[in-house]
Structure formats: structure tokens, C-alpha cells
Amino acid sequence: MFKTVALVGVTGAVGRLMRQLLEERPLAAETFRFLASARSAGKTLTFRGREYAVEPLTKESFQGVDLVLASTPDEVAAEYLPAAVEAGATVIDESGYFRMREGVPLVVPEVNPEAADIDRGIISSPNCSTTQMVLALKPLHDAARVRRVIVSTYQAVSGMGVQGTQELEESTAARLRGEEYRHAAFAHPIAFNCIPQIGREKEAGYTSEEMKMVYETRKILGDPSIQVCPTCVRIPVANCHSESIVVETERPVSPADARSLFEAFPGIKVVDDLPGGVYPMPNTCTGSDLVFVGRIREDISRPGGLSFWCVSDNLRKGAATNAVQIAELLARRRFGAK
Ligand SMILES: NC(=O)c1ccc[n+]([C@@H]2O[C@H](COP(=O)([O-])OP(=O)(O)OC[C@H]3O[C@@H](n4cnc5c(N)ncnc54)[C@H](OP(=O)(O)O)[C@@H]3O)[C@@H](O)[C@H]2O)c1
């Protein structure tokens, strides 16, 4: 088993869920430690029946730690996580900072588990909108080689962390009371709105969130020739990202074949009955660790093309669950854990 597992960013939206998942799942360690910013230092939390104080993160925090699960803003990851590696730990990082670095594995356990085979260093967990898409693309890619993807996302406010959720709730209530609300988490009011910008302008008129979907997809699927055209949109939904995905493959995939491929792949659940009004939606997918796929149909604008709808809990499979699954993968490899 691991000696000491440290959760960094434990007070955040992803960190809280990581702690909850580690309560529910059997990852074994002699000791757990919980870290966040100096703002949270000293707060107490209960974990597996014991009380712990949240510790402030410093570069000296990692002595004796062999596994770190980190979910902090990029700049915090950049400043502190190299010290964890220096101290001998393996770090599973939720931030975007290290993902595209040469030599840093970017891992979705159902898709590229072999990439996580390192003794120490940083393993990145992908951006939430990428994770659910690559998981859905993987069986299609294996069967028919994905050549081009056009994806439009409908992303929940919890993707912006605790502050995003708070802003949706408060601004919606303020709007219903007819009051002004000073928004801070998003560039525009999110209540009763949708915002076609996530992240900053990056290149060629695309945002940083959109370019993450391009580069991370290629890295995880190990195919730099895959073309991705993304549009990322923030919508006033509390939790779960939804995506409309159109795929061109080298060999045609019929909707029936796609359905069979999705059904056979671990981590995907097909929910698809248009006449019955049954398809994945944020309200029905929240709280699940799976990636849900529905509305599977032919792209009628292009023979052999495929179109589908994909929903997943961005805080779970898009973040905390994926990180914990990577930790479990390491535990199986290193200690033969179940
Ligand atoms: N939310 C998602 O759906 C999602 C999905 C995939 C990846 N991610 C990535 O995961 C990371 C965390 O996201 P989140 O949504 O959980 O954000 P969040 O709710 O804002 O939480 C941020 C966490 O980082 C801690 N932190 C901030 N500054 C710190 C500092 N100087 N030193 C130590 N700890 C510090 C915070 O501690 P305090 O509470 O003490 O401030 C908090 O625990 C981000 O990189 C994000 O891009 C998020």
C-alpha cells in the first residue's frame, strides 16, 4: 500500500469529491494528509472516521509523501508540484499546467492505461471536456480510425469550481428578485444566459479551453493527425458537461455499429431512445462515474459520418474519479492491489 497519500486542494470542488471518493473506494495508505491554501489551514475535516486538520501547502509539505492527488489552479500546481516530485512522490495532477509537457503522461485509464507506467513524476489528468469525449471516441478510433471531430460543448458552472456554482445560484436568485448582481467567476452574467467563451483567446480565434480539446485528444489517442474543431460554451447548468459530437472516420461506422462499440467499452453507458424521450441529460447523469452517450445517428450531411450526444459529470469522471482511478491503477501495478 502507499505510505502517505496527500490531497492538495482538498477544499475545492474537485478536492472535496476526491476525498469523498477515497472514503468510498478502497485505495489503501498508512496515512492521509489534506492540504489547501493558507486560507483553509486549520479547518478540520473527517475522513474514514478520523479528524484531520487541513495543512497549508508549502514546498516542504511533501517529505515522506509517496502519492499526491492535486487539484489546484495552474499557477499553484506549477509552483509546488515539482517539490513533490523532488521529494520522491508520484503526483496525479488535475491542473492544465503540465498536461502537454513532453514526458508527462496524460491519462484516462480506460483509454491509455499504459501511459501511466512511471515510478515517480507527474501524471496529468485531462481537461474535463476532453476526458468524456476521448472516452467516447476511443472505441470508434480503434474500430475505424477517427479522422475529424466537430464538437460543441454545453459546460456546467461547476467546471469553474466552488466559485462558479456559487455564482450561478446567487445570480439566479438575484435575477428572480429583480436585484443587480456583480458577477466575478464568469466574464458575463451566467443566469439565464450562455457564454461562448471558456478560457482566454488562444489561437486562430479559438479559446484555451477549445485548444485543450484539440491537443489533449491527439496526445491521449496517440494520433497527432486527428483534426478537432471545438466550440466551448458555458451554460447555466449546475453540474455535468454535455457535448454534441460529429465524427468522420476512415472507415464508415453505422449508428448500429457505433452503438455496439459504445456498449462494449468500459466506462460508457448508452442511453438512447428518442421516441421514448430518453437520452442523457445533466440532471440524470450527475453523480455517476460513467460517460453517457445517446442520440446516436448518421451525419445526414455526409455519408458514413456519425453524430451523437455525450454527457458526463465533469467533477467525477471529468476530474476526481479519473484521478482516483489513476491512483488505483498505480496501486494495482505497484502493490498488486485489487
Ligand atoms: N471543476 C472541474 O470540473 C474541473 C475538471 C477538471 C479539472 N479541473 C482542474 O482542477 C483544478 C481545481 O479545480 P476546482 O474546480 O476544484 O477549483 P476550486 O473549487 O476553485 O478549488 C481550488 C483548490 O485549490 C486550492 N488553492 C488555491 N490557491 C492555493 C494556494 N495558493 N495554495 C494551496 N492551495 C490553493 C484551494 O484552496 P482554498 O479553498 O484554501 O482556497 C482549493 O482547495 C483546476 O486546475 C481545474 O482547472 C477542474
Confidence of residue 93 (pLDDT cuts 50, 70, 90): very high
| pLDDT tens per residue, range 227-283 | 999 999 999 999 999 999 999 999 999 999 999 999 999 999 999 999 999 999 999
CA geometry: angle at 321 spanning 320 and 325, to 5°? 120
Rounded-to-integer distance, Cα 84 and Cα 288, Å: 31
DSSP, residue by residue, 134-159: HHHHHHHHHHH-EEEEEEEEEE-GGG
| pLDDT tens per residue, range 2-58 | 999 999 999 999 999 999 999 999 899 999 999 999 999 999 999 999 999 999 999
Fold type of domain 2-126+319-335: Rossmann fold (3.40.50)
Compute the mean pLDDT over every residue in the chain, rounded to the nearest whole number: 97
Can you tell me which atom of ligand 1 is nearest the CA of 314?
3
Question: Ligand 1, residues 14, 20, 80: which to mutate, most atoms within 8 A of Cβ?
Answer: 14
Helix (H, G, I), strand (E, B) or coil at 285: helix
| 84 in Cβ contact with 68 (< 8 Å) | yes
Rounded-to-integer distance, Cα 170 and Cα 114, Å: 44
% of the chain beyond a pLDDT of 70: 100
- Grid cell listed for 301: 450531411
| 98 in Cβ contact with 104 (< 8 Å) | yes
**DSSP-assigned letter for residue 317:** I
Confidence of residue 120 (pLDDT cuts 50, 70, 90): confident
Stated length of the chain: 338
Q: According to the model, what pLDDT value does residue 149 have?
A: 98
Sorted by where each begins, the domain ranges of the chain are 2-126+319-335, 130-314
- Grid cell listed for 91: 503526483
Question: Ligand 1, residues 72, 97, 286, 326: which to mutate, most atoms within 8 A of Cβ?
Answer: 72
- Which residue's CA is the nearest one to ligand 1's atom 46? 95
Residues in contact with ligand 1 by the CB-under-6-Å rule are 9-15, 36-37, 39-40, 57, 71-74, 76, 94-96, 128, 158-159, 161-163, 314-315, 318-319
Catalytic positions, written as ranges: 128, 241
Q: What is the CATH number of domain 130-314?
A: 3.30.360.10
